[in-house]
Amino acid sequence: MSRIRDNYEDSLWNRLTKWVNGESDPFAGKMEMEPLREADYVGDSVYNPERLDKKKVLKYLEDTEKNQEIRAFRVLYNLSSVALCLLLIAVLLMAVSYLPVLGDPNGPNNNEVSARYVEKGMEESGAVNMVTNMILSYRGFDTFGETCVLFIAATCVIILLRKSEEEIENAKETDWKYEPKPDAILQKITLILVPVIFLYGFYIILNGHLSPGGGFSGGATVGAGLILYVTTFGFHKTQRFFNEKTYDMVKVGALSLYSVTMIYYFYTGANLIENHIPLGTPGDILSSGMILPINIFVGLEVACTMYAFFALFRRGGM
């Protein structure tokens, strides 16, 4: 009467019985799993730098039991570094106790400088957010420098960690290190979360002149979204819309537009030439003159840099 269905192997019942009997693992192939490495099974005869006993090496290099000199030096070294730190802490605590009280209205740093930032900031620079006014308009040069700090830090990390395409290709066998195995739960949640994170990041960037936030914090948020995406879906998928070329273009484009804006600002400001960037009405989304575009440029640069740090540390390339 009854007959075995054609696709009995795939049927829900079969899978349930198998699972109950312990014959299959429902998560197999769907979760990120670390495969067992061969090296774990080989004896000590095989050289494996990860399994190198650091203590043994150190003991071989600096046998403190026999070499009293090194031992004395180490003890002295540790003691003096602790003493130095304690001394520094004591000096700093003492100095701080003599400093003016924080928030004292008559304190030295409540002077004409901060007064102008607070009172005239909105009218002069056009942003409601006073901090943004200060860092991007009044002290724009410092912030330009800070952006360059981030840029050069990223360059240094690239120097240190970037591998050539060949090296990455050759590392295929240990690819589980770079490419996550598909994980259903993670992927579903990421698909919901990433757009929200991106949106929120862009919101922080675009509203930098109106509410707390701005290029640096918003860019970090967008970068976090990118990192979440790449940890879930792997570099292969991410490269379809964000690879090294896009990274270079976005970063160079944002930074060079930023520098053009700054040069225009410095030149017109110092030579008292009229600045043609309109300030708009404070409070509008399209207002505050050059602050909004600068926030966007900084945001793009920071997002790229955050992602680049992650990608370089994880894989050695974007």
Partner 1 sequence: MNLARNFVENFPCFSIVLCMVAGILSTPIKGNHAKRITLLVVILVTCMSAATFLYVASTGTSFVYTMGKYPAPWGNEIRAGVLETMLATVFSLVMLFSLLGGMDHVFKDIPEEKINLYFILVDLLLSSLLAIIYTNDLFTGYVFVEINTIAACGMIMIRKIGRSLVAATRYMVMSLIGSGLFLIGLAMLYDITGHLLMENAHLVMNQLVQEGKYSVPLLVIISFITVGLAIKSGLYPFHSWMPDAYGYSTVSSSSILSSLVSKSYIILLIKIFYRVIGFDNIVNSKIVDVLFVFGLAGMVMGSVGAIMAKDIYRMIAFSSVAQIGYVYMGIGLETEAGMVAAIFHILTHAITKSLLFLAAKGLNNVSGRKRVFYALQGSAFRNPLAGVAFLVGSLSMVGIPMLSGFISKLLFATAALGAAREKVLITLIVLAVSTILNAIYFLHTVVRIYTPVHVPEEFKNVHVRVSKGAALAVFSLICMNFILGLLSQPITDLIQVGIAMFA
The contact set with partner 1 (CB under 8 A) reads: 91-92, 94-95, 98-100, 107-113, 116-117, 124, 137-142, 144-146, 148-149, 151-153, 155-156, 158-160, 162, 164, 248-249, 251-252, 255-256, 259, 262-263, 265-272, 275
For residue 41, give the DSSP letter.
Answer: T
Closest to 133 (Cα-Cα) out of 147, 145, 122, 144: 122
d(CA 183, CA 189) in angstroms, rounded, equals: 10
Rg of the chain taking only CA atoms, in angstroms: 29
DSSP sequence for 43-76: -TTS--GGG--HHHHHHHH--TTT-HHHHHHHHH
Judged by CB, which is closer to partner 1: 154, or 230?
154
Closer by beta carbon to partner 1, 124 or else 175: 124
Q: How far is the CB of 237 from partner 1 (least distance, A)?
A: 24
239 close to 219: Cβ distance less than 8 angstroms: no
Q: How far is the CB of 188 from partner 1 (least distance, A)?
A: 37
Nearer to partner 1, 168 or 193 (CB): 168
Q: What is d(CA 96, CA 45) in angstroms, rounded to the nearest whole number? A: 58
Shortest distance (Å) from residue 274 CB to partner 1:
10
Cβ within 8 Å of residue 285, ≥6 positions away: 206, 207, 210
Nearer to partner 1 among residue 113 and residue 285 (C-beta): 113
Q: Whole-number minimum distance, CB 64 to partner 1, in Å?
A: 22
Query: Which CB atom, from 81 or from 211, has the smaller least distance to partner 1?
Result: 81
CB of 33 to partner 1, least distance (A): 34
The least CB distance from residue 312 to partner 1, in Å, is: 13
**Residue number, 134 or 222, with CB nearest to partner 1:** 134
- Treating both helix axes as pointing N-terminal to C-terminal, what angle do 291-314 and 184-206 enclose, rounded to 10 degrees? 150
* Pair 234, 312: CB distance under 8 Å: no
